[in-house]
A and B are shown apart, each in its own frame.
Chain A
């Protein structure tokens, strides 16, 4: 596709349920990032993938959060036993190179998660 796509665009779930958020990066982009943006806040880094591996998981807020990437393309962010404080917009970004810090990250439209 032309840009980063994310699905679903909106998700409402009940506290305690598991959710899966999907990100489809720009074709050919080897680096993929997940961020969280709470209402009116800046971006909080969650995890970064180089290809299928995640060298930096330092931003994951708890062990309820996990992410995987298969085939060097699509990534899934899973939140288990969701809590109300997980409500936020989850943004995915991709960049061309996995070795250069200069590469611009291009963002998807985000998934708005609401935990009731």
Chain B
């Protein structure tokens, strides 16, 4: 079965703290893709990153970094020196091959509150 689990429902941090959002996935596919989206209070989902299953290199983009580990089926997202503007709900998603190969499986989201 295809499944994404974001065990952290809500996290609160103080500005400038580092925070890691966890994502664990399940898939039978050998080729798959993982995504992170941000949903700010305005509501529109914003694409952050896409990784394929063959590339386990960690990625850094400014204050954002992602740690992909196939051995633990995890794709965690770290925000360094968090800011109030980072407050949002963050969704991890999985897509893969098969009959429903363009179907995305979203986690339930992690709400991040960054306090000044």
Interface residues of A (CB under 8 A from B): 31, 33, 35, 41-43, 45, 48, 50, 56, 58, 89, 91, 93, 95, 98, 100-110
Would A31 and B102 count as touching, CB distance under 8 A?
A: yes
Query: In the assembled complex, which residues on chain A have CB atoms less than 8 Å from the CB atom of B100?
Result: 48, 56, 58
B53 to A, closest residue via Cβ: A102
Does B45 make an interface contact (CB < 8 A)?
yes
Total contacting residues, chain B, CB less than 8 A: 28
Which residue of the partner chain A has the closest CB to B44? A109
Taking a contact as CB atoms under 8 Å apart, the answer to whether B106 and A42 are in contact is yes
Q: A91, B45: Cβ atoms under 8 Å?
A: yes
A102 contacts B43, CB within 8 Å? Answer: no
One of B47, B105, B108 near A106 (C-beta < 8 A): B47
A42 touches B108 (CB 8 A): yes
